[in-house]
């Protein structure tokens, strides 16, 4: 791998994965893609000349040096890894950009290590906007040698990437990130619901709050759309709820008590249930403001 540019394959062309794979293509690194829904692979290949469509995860693995994966949950990741094992070769690197439990990452690292294949858990943060703009932060766990061979790959869609420890460390870091995301979302949604309740001028309040100590990525990217009651683009509440349940398990293992997590779990459980009952799709986590308006 060190003697040539890595040939990359990408599995999982969702809202985050598709733009990440697009950046790999733009940098001349992407060889092939695979997605559970063939239509997404076909559309991606039409939009990105020269990219192959693998017939299976194993077929994709046979044609590349690095496989990057971005799927929704632990079971999805385990299934993909099992499906591509027959195509893996010693010396390859499997990079997981999904958000899963640290224990899942450690188990897969052990499983692939027996095949002399490196596994790097590398969840990302920065939202759909970060993926589209190639400005993601990448939290990695795994062996230093494998991580050191991924600078060109991570540089295609990341603005910063760090190795934080052995396998599972990246997922532990993502749990910290998601706990903070949930707490910030709680505060911002509640605060903007209060702006409405007090009949304060919205544009001016967004400018003032964003320009001071209350400013945050979430307020900057979602404040205006929340007040416009628009939640079409972003991170689905069901996915955050899945992540928070991972956080819950991790905190129990660590013997750490959070004052943020119980409220976030309760609120996002209610939000997901309410939107399902209304026949709506998940939208964005900023839809939490709808619950805060009624509190």
Cβ contact 137:124 at 8 Å: yes
- For the chain, report the end-to-end CA distance as a whole number of angstroms: 56
- Please give the Cα distance from 22 to 24 (Å, whole number): 5
Strands (E) located in 61-190: 66-69, 93-96, 118-121, 124-125, 136-140, 158-163
- Please give the Cα distance from 262 to 281 (Å, whole number): 24
- Please give the Cα distance from 100 to 72 (Å, whole number): 8
- Please give the Cα distance from 239 to 231 (Å, whole number): 15
* Selected catalytic residue, list 40, 159, 174, 292: 174
- Annotated active-site residue 174? The verdict is yes
* Measured CA distances, 121 to 91, 101, 104 (Å): 16, 10, 10
* Measured CA distances, 286 to 35, 147, 263 (Å): 28, 34, 15
Catalytic residue positions, numbered? 174
């Amino acid at each position: 791998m060190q003697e040539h540019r890595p040939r990359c394959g990408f599995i999982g062309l969702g809202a985050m994965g598709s733009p990440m794979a697009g950046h790999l293509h733009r940098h001349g690194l992407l060889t092939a893609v695979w997605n559970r829904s063939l239509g997404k692979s076909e559309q991606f290949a039409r939009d990105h000349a020269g990219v192959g469509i693998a017939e299976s995860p194993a077929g994709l693995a046979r044609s590349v040096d690095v496989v990057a994966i971005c799927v929704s949950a632990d079971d999805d990741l385990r299934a993909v890894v099992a499906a591509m094992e027959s195509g893996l070769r010693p010396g390859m690197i499997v990079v997981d950009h999904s958000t899963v439990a640290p224990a899942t990452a450690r188990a897969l690292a052990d499983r692939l290590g027996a095949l002399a294949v490196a596994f790097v858990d590398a969840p990302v943060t920065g939202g759909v906007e970060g993926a589209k703009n190639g400005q993601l932060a990448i939290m990695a766990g795994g062996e230093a040698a494998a991580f050191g061979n991924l600078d060109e790959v991570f540089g295609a869609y990341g603005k910063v990437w760090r190795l934080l420890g052995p396998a599972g460390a990246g997922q532990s870091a993502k749990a910290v990130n998601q706990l903070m995301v949930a707490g910030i979302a709680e505060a911002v949604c509640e605060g903007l619901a209060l702006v409405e309740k007090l009949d304060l001028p919205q544009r001016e309040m967004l400018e003032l709050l964003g320009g001071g100590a209350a400013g945050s990525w979430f307020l900057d990217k979602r404040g205006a759309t929340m007040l416009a009651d628009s939640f079409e683009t972003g991170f689905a509440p069901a996915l955050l709820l899945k992540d928070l349940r991972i956080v819950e398990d991790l905190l129990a293992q660590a013997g750490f008590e959070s004052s943020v997590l119980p409220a976030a779990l309760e609120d996002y459980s209610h939000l997901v249930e309410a939107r399902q009952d209304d026949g709506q799709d998940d939208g964005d986590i900023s839809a939490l403001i709808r619950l805060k308006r009624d509190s």
